[in-house]
Structures are given as C-alpha cells and as structure tokens.
Homo-oligomer: A and B are copies of this chain.
Amino acid sequence: MTVSRSICFGFLAVITVGTILLMMPFSTSSGMWNNPIVALFTATSAVCVTGLAVEDTGTYFSFWGQLFLLMLVQIGGLGYMTANTFLLLLLGRRFSLKDKIAIQQSLDRPGIHGSTQILRSIIALTAVMEITGILVLLPIFNADYGFNQGLWLAVFHSINSWNNAGFSLFPDSYIRYQFYLPLVIPVSALIILGGIGYPVIFEMYLWMRDRLLKKPYRTVFSLNFKVATSTTLALLVIGTIAFLFIELRNPETFGTVNFGNQLVLAWFQSVTTRTAGFNSIDIGQMTTAGLFLTIALMFIGASPGGTGGGIKTTTARVLANCTKAILQGKEDVEMYQRQVPISLILKAIGVVVGSTVTVILATILMSVTDPSVNFIKIFFEVVSAFATVGLSTGITASVSASGKLILIVTMFVGRVGILLLMAALLGDPRPRAIRYPEENLLVG
C-alpha cells in the first residue's frame, strides 16, 4: 500500500532527523551530547504531538533544542492534519458519490485541483490560528517575563496549543495561570479548534462567509461536521461536570478553592483530555476516580482531520449509534438522517480493537519492566502516550529505559497506526470473488 507506506516512512524520517538534531551538544542547555533515549523520546513525542517529556523542556534544552522541538511539533501536527484530511477526501472519492459532491461543493473546485487548494488552506488556517494565539498570549507573558522571553513563550505555547502537543516551557505547565481566564480561554479555544479538525473549521468558515454575504442558499453541513461538533461539545460538558463532582473534595486539586475557580479547573481538565496535554492541576494528585475518568476521555480523544489523537469522537459515536440501533431492534445504523455504511462500522471496530490491544499489551509490558510503579499510573501514562495526550502523573521521567522504549513505541503506534487503519481500505479494492453464505452465531 503506497499511502500507508509513505505515511509510515514520513513519520519515521522526521523522527530520525529530530533525534539527531536533539542529540547535538547545541540542543542541550548543558552544552553536552544528549542522552540518545532522551533525544529519541523527545523527538517521537514532538512529531507525534504527544507532549510527554522525560526532562523539563524549559531547562534541559537550549533555545536551539526548544526550536527544533517546536519545528518537529509543527511538522508533526501539520502533517497529520493534512494526511487525515486527504484520507477523508480519498475515502469520499472511493465510497460515496454523494459525499464527493458534498466535499467538492464546499471546496468549489472539482478533481485533483482541490488537493493543492486544501494544502494551502490548511497551512493558511494554521498560520492564522498560531499567529492569533501568539498575539493573545504575548501581553500576558510580556508582563510576567519581559518582551524577549515573553515572545518566545507566546510562540512556543501558541504552536503547542494549536497542534495539541502539550509541551510547556513552564515546569508546572499552566498551573501558575490556572485561574487566569485571559490565558485559559484562548488556550482552550486553540486546543478545541485544533482538535476538532480542518474539515469542520472549513465548513464553519464557509457557513459564516455565506451568512455574511447573504447568499440565498442554505449551507448543508456534512455528517462529519455534525458528529464532530456535537460529540466534542458533549464530551467537554460531561467531562467538566464529572471532574467537578469527582475532585470536589480533593484538597490537592479542587478542594480548597471557590466554586467559580473549581469550574475553571474542571473545564480545563476536560479540555486537555481532547488530547492537548497541558495541565492546570497536578495530575499526580488527582483521585483515582479522576485519573480513571481522564483515561477514558483521553482514549476517545479528538476529532479526525485535526491535530489531536485517540480513537476519535466519530469512532466512538459510530459505535454508540450501533449500540443504540441494536437496542431499538433495528439493523440499520443511522446518524442525522444518514445511513452509516458497513465499511465505516468495520473501520470503527478496527480502530477500537487495534487501540485496545495496543494499550493492553503496552500496559502489561510496562507492568513487567517497572513492577514497583502504581498500576493506574502506568495505565494512565500508556493511554496518554497512545492517544498522544501528554498528560503525566509524573512517572515518565523516572521509569526504566525499557519502560521509556515502550512509551516511544506506543506513541508512534497511537499516531501512525491509527492513520494506517484509516488508510486500510484505500488499497486496491479486492474483487469479491467468493461470497460465502451467512450463518448466525450467538454473541454476548
């Protein structure tokens, strides 16, 4: 499969170059050659926009090291968003004429010509978002750290927010700004928009343009738009309420502040599980229930065509609607007056089965290599790596070298494996030479 192979090799090549750059003496603040495992881990974490770190980014790496890391994040995030969007187009082309028309309608341009347009449009969107982020963050960091350092902080954190990468130059991530709405709101917006994906933002843009120009026709939103926005919204709200309820009495996180501030903390914790990886509370101090909820939300993750990870909101929604259909005694799975094709259901199953097997294997292996670490911390770190979230209970820096290698592989599989599964049906469509008779079977 050409598509899969180029995706795989592309990621590997960027990680290799990144590792070499981060190993150089000018990349570390100590001026010494970097530890190869630290370099490999950081490069993988950056290219997969995970944000897990074995060393404190702000003090361990020199300015050059931080710049390389930021470039790797940018390449990783942009590459994933682009690959993901093109796969949607290719899938559309292969599967459904109707869908193809819908996409081309929204792009106003037919055929292959659209691809260059889309690439340009994605780059433009990224630039607009990141520059807006820099302009909003600059005054805050300028006031606290002066212009030079403030600018670098704004650039670094804006790019990391839009790409859902989660590296921070502050050792405590955003805990120092945990109640400061002028930072919490724009960072949340960048994370959510980056995670909801290019196709959704593009449709939103078209809708707004048409409304402003008072076009006579009504915009038809795609199924992807409806599912991604409604599921993201639902997860954000449910997450906020659940975190509030669970952590309400934990003095180490929410317990000692007033209700308004608790709401801000719960909201940001809910947002960051859309695989951003920044944190405004100490994750290591959360209750067990809070950690487990975070694990579940991280596993679902962001929406396709964006920079976030996880099995994706749409995947979860397809499976939820399958369940709903079976409970209602229907054999057709529907979503917003659309029939869900069987190929999509199979793909959703493939993504979840592949993800579950990867997480279970990585968790068991890490429990073997690091037997003294508390189980939920291992489970948390594995899901965080797999869904390219980057939240950490603090064990990543201290686990054994084997444990770190397991996390490296998990991050790579979580990012590239999911793309490959998406691309799976793009290969030569096999002719259905044999069609076997159906036979029933008990399940459950």
Contacts and interface: CB of A to CB of B under 8 A. Distances in A.
Contacts of A112: none
B444 A287 contact: no
B436 A296 contact: no
B337 A322 contact: no
A304 interface: yes
B246 A440 contact: no
Say whether chain A's binding surface is mostly helix, strand, loop, or mixed.
Answer: helix
Interface in A314-369: 314-315, 318-320, 322-323, 325-335, 337-351, 353-354, 360, 363-365, 367-368
B96 A438 contact: yes
A88 B419 CA distance: 38
A329 B442 CA distance: 26
A441 interface: yes
A96 B440 contact: yes
Interface stretch (A18-26, A56-64, A187-195, A220-228): A220-228
Interface string A417-436: 01101101111111010011
Copies of this chain in the oligomer: 2
Contacts of A375: 288, 291-292, 374-376
Contacts of A426: 329
A366 to B, nearest CB: 8
A350 B327 contact: yes
Contact of A319 (B325, B349, B419, B439): B349
Interface of A: 84, 87-88, 91-92, 95-96, 98-99, 102, 199, 222-224, 227, 246, 287-289, 291-293, 296, 304-305, 311-312, 314-315, 318-320, 322-323, 325-335, 337-351, 353-354, 360, 363-365, 367-368, 371, 374-376, 378-379, 418-419, 421-422, 424-430, 432, 435-444
19 contacts: A99-B440, A222-B439, A223-B439, A287-B368, A291-B375, A319-B349, A322-B346, A323-B353, A330-B430, A331-B343, A332-B436, A337-B436, A339-B437, A339-B438, A347-B444, A348-B444, A351-B444, A418-B444, A422-B443
